[in-house]
Structure 1
Amino acid sequence: MPSDRSRPAGSPEPGRGRRRRGWSSDDLRYGNLLRILRHLRDHGPSSRTDIAAGCGLAMSTMTELIAELRGRRLVRELKGVPRKGAGRPLRPVALDGEPWCALGVQVDLSGIHVLASTVGGEELWSDYVSLPLLHSGPEPGWGLLREALDDQFGRVPEEMTLVAVELALPGYVATDRGTVGWSKDLGWDGLPLQDRVTDQLAERGRAEVAVGVAHDCHLAGLHAVRVELALPLPHVAVYLGGLREVGGALVVDGAVFDGEDGSAGDFGHVNVDPRGPSCPCGRNGCLESLIGPTTLLARSGLVPAEDADTLVTQDPTAALGALLAAADDGDLRVLAVLAEAGDALGLALDDIIGAVNPSVVLLGGYLGVLQRYLLEPARARVARRTAVTSFSATKLIALGDLAPRVVAGAALAARDACLADPLRLTSVVGDGR
């Protein structure tokens, strides 16, 4: 469990890493640096007074820490804003991160989506690289991925430094080790992806880059909660989405909660009906087996059952489009299937809301696109639960478009990794002005 390859972060500060730093007498100062970075990440440009109040810091302490972060080009002062009344103009502080590059990579069945940005969030480039045989198994797949990643690493501008890479995979990931435990779609099992990418970067002379690997729906949920919801950030948020299957995420205080070994938020396999249809996971009656895209397509009669899985696997957008078009045209069989799916979704949500008591439940991916056919029966199922005062504040919200949440969430997590370990991953740049 080599500590130099992991992101520090069991702390409540920015980032998604799972291991906690070895705390020493200097860590109060370090923790305060992280609090400032998190405040700016979550609240945007802020006055020094607001930062001090939000972080519980004395103004003198905060000013000293801001100067250190400026020296590393992690924060910058904006132009002055006139005060109300007399006094010098306020100069808000904002995230900077211009010299530091963070790379988000979504690994899909036949290619990779890439989004590179500064640590402050300014997009540098985005790309899609077709890799038709990526799903051919862990070793052949890794060979293709390695070559594609090498090309992307070579695109980092000479004046910038790559500090973090986050890879999103469609499958279970042991996040402490960065190992792909099981990816049905890719056919990968037991691939130590974090170690492989870390070694690849070391060969390029970039041994200090933070590398993370995560379930793709975890990162989609991270982006949905942090970017697509209006402030303030919810304390606890549940996300359900996906394109080929039902995925999920649990986001606590703006960071993905991974659980013991990376698989928290596996809401697609909540057991709704033990006597229900078989699920690819080997159980019966999981939410996936009742409302997954393949099930909806097959039960609707739009595609022969034996062809439904192939269509969903190869072209999930087309499969979703066929369902939505038929429902919009008033196809009674499709409408009945979607109504039953909404009811099953509500049964699962009732248990999830009871167990987690979230501030908000977000539906994205194909569930969000089908919201007008799923929400009413789902809300009817959870109505008794949310009628109880302790659960009444939970909001059920659907995101209606197929935004590129996975790769955007991967880039967001890569930026977080730097904000969670700024002293290791960055250095002083000039005088920081």
Structure 2
Amino acid sequence: MKTYFKILAIILAIFASDFGILGKTLLLRADTVEKVYLLDESINLAILNNQQLLTAQLDTKIAQHRLKEAKSSMYPQLELNTNISRFEAESPLLLAPILGSTILPSTKDPNENNAEVYNYYTAKISLFQILWNAGKLNAMKKYASTELKTAESNYETIKNNTIAEIKKAFYKVLAGQKKLENYYEISSRIPQNMPAGLSAGEMLKIKRKKREFEYLEQDLKNELELARINFLKIAGIELDTTFTVKGELLSEHIELDLNKCLAWAMQYRPELKKIVLQEELDALEVSLSLSGRYPTIAVGGNYQLEDTQLPFDKKSWNATINITIPIFDGFAQYSRIRQKKYQYRKATISKANIIDSIKAETRKAFAEYSHALKIVNERTKDYEEIKDIFDSQKETNYNSLKSMEELEIYLVTHIEYINAIEQAIVARVNIENAIGKNIE
């Protein structure tokens, strides 16, 4: 019987061990599964995970509610105030504004020296509306509306930059994958063992050439790893994620005109819209400061029920027109006006500087794009010529120094061709970001 239990325990231990190994194997496989990212998916991830974009989106929502708040000031203010007071007063007593500014009557009996203690109940409805304040309410509404447009423009600027960066990072990884795949395809043709009958000098040169291939592999791997890290960082993905990208590494030849590009940049760049909106904000601030010099006309009214017991017996009401005229504030208003005018002048200077920067950026991007297209045409021609020669030889034995040098020429030419396509794609992304629109 004891032997039976021992055998059963051994079998259970073996099963537990097998399941443990199986579980670890499944977890290891799950961890090493490569994710595949397409361009559109990468752009969506970058937009979704970018912290600056999230902050700019919140700024937009804040500006939306500020606009609602500014619009609400155009409507009358209606308040209902109720009080229950327990008091003793030898003379009328005015409550604090937070308590409704209610006046409690004197409880002192004229025939006696002491005041009595009473309960006092009040219910008051108040209505207040500004009729005219030199356009200050309209200016505040326009100011909030312009702030909203500024926040939206800032969001678009960050979004465009994010899309441009993730596109460049995506194609950098894709180009790195293509170059490494091509390297493995070419280098696999080199035999591991050297042929017999070689001299010491020939063997040394072949070993050196093989070492150069290994160095190139290390460089390509390092370039791809750095590109992957940059991609993960921009996309907001965990940096230890194993992934590949999938897409077409193609460069379209689209002819552009510099003057059209400059005109598009002036029309579509959100940075320019932002500085124009900032000018409007500064102009509105000047208008708001100037409105402080003019009278404010308001109308209001109250209807109040009050008594020392319920139901109310005393009723009061009033309708009031109020005119407030500013006379003197120690020249503070003058200083505020001057401040806003200087800010407006500052925004005008900044606008000219930003326009020059946008034009310079557009010209630079146009020059890079034109040069990249030229390089692509040259590299494509070189690659096709060498590929035709290489394919025509149909050599299968690459163990000689001459054949290895031919392989190296073909490999380097292909890498230069891929680099040229990548640079052309990056140049197109830069010119699109510079003019603020896609080119087709």
| TM-score under structure 2 length normalisation | 0.18
Structure possessing the higher relative contact order (Cα contacts under 8 Å, 6 or more residues apart): 2
The structure with the greater share of residues assigned to helix is 2
| TM-score under structure 1 length normalisation | 0.18
